[in-house]
Amino acid sequence: MSFPKGFLIGASTAAHQVEGNNIHSDYWAQEHMTNTSFNEPSGIACDHYNRYEEDIRLMAAAGLNAYRFSIEWARIEPQPGVYDKNEIAHYRKVLECCRANGVEPIVTLLHFTSPKWLIEQGGWENEATVGRFAAYCKYVIEQLGDLMHYVCTINEANMGLQIAAIARRYTMLMQQHQSAEGKVQVGINLENPMLERMKKQAMENVQVFGTPQPQVFVGQRTENGDLLVMRAHRAAVEAIKSVRPELSVGITLSLHDIQAQPGGEAEAEREWNEEFLHYLPYIEHDDFFGVQNYTRTRMGKDGSLPAPAGAETTQMGYEYYPEALGHVIRKVHAVLPIPLMVTENGIATDDDSRRIAFIRTALDGVQACIDDGIPVLGYCHWSLMDNFEWQKGFSMRFGLIAVDRETMEREPKESLYFLGSITK
């Protein structure tokens, strides 16, 4: 593989998943509820808040030249309108550490977690969130923009619609399950533990967030909420540019390689429109676009199909299919001819040789895109280290570096050196 000079090869993390003690965030509150859906709380996560220097050094020593990480809104603005200078000082040190190690920082301003107060005030369905998010972004850029070049406003802004679709399918299945009870002449209990938990959660949500359905970022989004997120992106871009017009600003989306199977053409088209195309008016004038891809989705006439029989799957349960990345880049470029950056791509596995194989195939795909003239700026692997995979806790291993959960000791995997060798 030989990438153009200046091509970025790096790794990604998100504040809540690695830093630890994100106590003012909505996630922290959810993790500590009695009826929580989280397997375990994030706790000190990977203690990256204190160990960022070691982590950045390991990355640089292996040859990586970019680090995509997120700044935590809940730390910067723990109460509405109250900014914490100490946290600004912290992120300044992280940015300086990147620069000192020859690593280009790629900064995300919102990666799933929000301040708890934002959710208490209506969260990601409340129009006021647009202005609040832009104000936070402006403040961060005023304070730290001098050390930045690439900025992602919002991570996977399309997540809410994907979750809404999954939730609709689930609710239907659960309801079918319950109505089956009346169909047999015997006293069986088909009560659904998931539905029960949802009811209890709703009651506890009222105590914790003041509403039964808190509108967190990774939640079921309405169509209006979906576009509200896009308006928040546009407002953030304007706010950032008003301070530092020279910064390169974009957004990232979670994109599957959607493949129509015979008869599934219309479904595939509908899905691609929902997942990507309808956002174009909000992103086509951005400086770059962040592609995040992990696998493919095959579509039949009634919707998505399971992985083909016998296909290798990852710890996340979806298909091992690294070819997806190149396919997605091509599909995106066909309608969005601006510079692209792979801001996430990765695999959860305990078998690091599969991670190396995954990276190799994925990067072959990227290289072929570049050879065909598609402007790809860089590739950031998810993730720099094994970390807190949201509701699944620490059970998923996406990292290029292993983290001992007892001692927090770091152990680089072969895949870190493999990825780093590409820049050499």
- In the complex, the smallest distance separating the C-beta of residue 206 from ligand BGC, rounded to whole angstroms, is 28
Amino acid at 66: A
- In the complex, the smallest distance separating the C-beta of residue 86 from ligand BGC, rounded to whole angstroms, is 25
- Where do contacts with ligand BGC occur on this chain (CB under 6 A)? 14, 17, 155-156, 254, 344, 382, 389, 398
- In the complex, the smallest distance separating the C-beta of residue 398 from ligand BGC, rounded to whole angstroms, is 6
Pairing between β-strand 296-300 and β-strand 303-305 as defined by DSSP bridges? antiparallel
**Tally of residues, the chain:** 424
CB atoms under 10 Å from CB of 37, counted, come to 13
Q: Which residues pair with 401 in a beta bridge?
A: 385, 412
What are the residues whose beta carbons fall under 8 Å from the beta carbon of 278, sequence distance 6 or more?
Answer: none
Q: Give the residue among 321, 159, 315 at the shortest CA–CA distance from 226.
A: 159
- In the complex, the smallest distance separating the C-beta of residue 389 from ligand BGC, rounded to whole angstroms, is 5
- In the complex, the smallest distance separating the C-beta of residue 315 from ligand BGC, rounded to whole angstroms, is 10
Relative orientation angle of helices 352-371 and 324-335, to the nearest 10 degrees: 30
Q: Which residues pair with 378 in a beta bridge?
A: 8, 341
Closer residue to ligand BGC, CB minimum distance, 69 or 264:
69
Closer residue to ligand BGC, CB minimum distance, 25 or 155:
155
Closer residue to ligand BGC, CB minimum distance, 75 or 138:
75
- In the complex, the smallest distance separating the C-beta of residue 152 from ligand BGC, rounded to whole angstroms, is 11
- In the complex, the smallest distance separating the C-beta of residue 342 from ligand BGC, rounded to whole angstroms, is 13
Closer residue to ligand BGC, CB minimum distance, 114 or 155:
155
| C-alpha span between 130 and 110 (Å, rounded) | 13
Closer residue to ligand BGC, CB minimum distance, 145 or 322:
322
Please spell the DSSP secondary structure of 251-316, one letter per residue: EEEE--EEEEPTT-HHHHHHHHHHHTGGGHHHHTTSSEEEEEE--EEEEETTEEEPPPTT--B-TT
Closer residue to ligand BGC, CB minimum distance, 117 or 382:
382
| C-alpha span between 388 and 320 (Å, rounded) | 21
Closer residue to ligand BGC, CB minimum distance, 243 or 307:
307
